[in-house]
Amino acid sequence: MEIVKKYSHLNGFEFLMYHKKELWENIVQVISSIDGHDCLTKKSKEIRTFDKMLISPKDLNAKFKENFNSLDWSEKRISYYVTENVDLIRKTINLPSSEQKTTIEEKGFSALYSYNQTDFVKDKVAVEVQFGKYAFVAYDLFVKHLAFYMQDEIDVGVEILPMKSMQIKMSSGIGYYEGELYNILRHGRNTPAVPLVIIGIDI
């Protein structure tokens, strides 16, 4: 596979190249080491592509996981507690999760456990490999990367997406680079407020 396009949001790429170039080289190595044609294993059941062999997101994700893990990238989770009370959320949002729970319950409200999980993290760089529906990409870009950044768990987030030329070889409804680039740009230069690198790949 190859990187066809990349977009640097809030100098995310420049940060990597100056401070953590070896991690960018890891990402390039992982992408280039995968043969996407090996993942043409999903027989379509959709009317428009019935019986055609499509790229399997499951198989592709497995290859990314194997290759990133071999370079010591690993999954990371951050947990937190939510409640229905606006003031309590504002008061606890920057506290450690254990203190969030205690503070919420001391005020007589239910502390509801939740978490954010990212695919691969190494030395405060997070990589999400996203071959899911459009909504999952938006969640990555506008919620997940931002949450990790605001809690000082990462310095930059990286989102790997298929180009449209690759997406048409997959099931319908999957997010793609060109569409998500538009979504980022239409929100203005400072939103989301986290340095990002958006990567578009093809087989």
Residue 47 has pLDDT above 80, yes or no: no
**8: β partners:** 197
SS3 84: coil
CB neighbour burial string for 142-155, b if at least 16 within 10 angstroms, e if fewer: bebbbbbbeeebbb
State percent of the chain over pLDDT 70. Answer: 100
Query: Which residue matches tokens 């999760």?
Result: 97
Q: What contacts 79, CB < 8 A, 6 or more positions away?
A: 97, 113, 114, 115
Distance CA 63, CA 32 (A): 12
**Strand-strand pairing, 2-9 and 42-43:** unpaired
Choice between 128 and 138, residue whose per-residue pLDDT is larger: 128
The pLDDT score that the predictor gives to residue 177 is: 96
Residue ranges of domains in the chain: 2-75+121-202
The answer to whether 100 and 82 are in contact (CB under 8 A) is no
Q: What is the pTM of this model?
A: 0.89
Q: What is the number of alpha carbons within 13 Å of residue 192 lying toward its C-beta? A: 25
Q: Name the fold adopted by 2-75+121-202.
A: Restriction Endonuclease (3.40.91)
The answer to whether 133 and 175 are in contact (CB under 8 A) is yes
On average, the pLDDT of the chain sits at 92
What does the pLDDT look like over 57-113, one tens digit per residue? 999 999 999 999 999 999 999 899 999 999 999 999 888 888 999 999 999 999 999
Distance CA 134, CA 141 (A): 11
Q: What angle do helix axes 57-70 and 21-32 make, rounded to 10 degrees?
A: 140
